[in-house]
């Protein structure tokens, strides 16, 4: 999605760290190559892949692994995912604030923690400069 690249570029420009927490069946090294092929590797600071950890979302362990890799605490993080049962539940189990992206919605529901596109995350991340 085009808004993903734009968000990642903006976050990098603003000094945020990013991580991917994924329930892939292949190890982080292979997932990193996929990110590189998409031109996104330079925006990702850490990967937490269930294949490497032996635990998958909604278990809190993959989220904690990502936080540890970033040197961050749960209170400093925001997780964005599309599945309530795995993504959002797992993040919350790890004590991380979570926002669900639902691209089928016409508009966000901020009170419910749902956005319809990544550009709506400014409410959680604060508005900031965009990359040149």
Whether the CB-CB separation of 94 and 63 falls below 8 Å is answered with yes
Beta strands in the chain (DSSP E): 19-22, 46-49, 78-81, 97-101, 114-115
Q: Is residue 132 classed exposed, middle or buried when 0-12, 13-18 and 19+ CB atoms within 10 A define those classes?
A: exposed
**What's the confidence (pLDDT) of residue 128?**
59
Give pTM, 2 decimals. Answer: 0.90
121 three-class SS: helix
**What's the confidence (pLDDT) of residue 131?**
53
Q: What are the C-alpha distances in Å from 72 to residues 18, 19, 30?
A: 11, 11, 25
Residue range 62-102, pLDDT digits in tens: 999 999 999 999 999 999 999 999 999 999 999 999 999 99
Residue range 18-39, pLDDT digits in tens: 999 999 888 999 999 999 999 9
């Amino acid at each position: 999605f085009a808004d993903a690249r734009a968000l990642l570029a903006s976050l990098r420009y603003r000094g945020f760290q990013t991580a991917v927490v994924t329930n892939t069946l292949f190890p982080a090294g292979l997932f990193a190559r996929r990110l590189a092929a998409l031109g996104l590797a330079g925006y990702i600071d850490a990967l937490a892949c269930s294949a490497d950890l032996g635990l998958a979302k909604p278990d809190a362990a993959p989220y904690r692994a990502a936080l540890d890799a970033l040197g961050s605490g749960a209170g400093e993080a925001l997780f964005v995912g599309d599945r309530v049962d795995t993504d959002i539940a797992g993040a919350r189990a790890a004590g991380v604030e979570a926002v669900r992206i639902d691209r089928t919605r016409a508009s966000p529901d901020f009170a419910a923690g749902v956005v319809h596109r990544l550009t709506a995350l400014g409410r959680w991340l604060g508005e900031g400069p965009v990359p040149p």
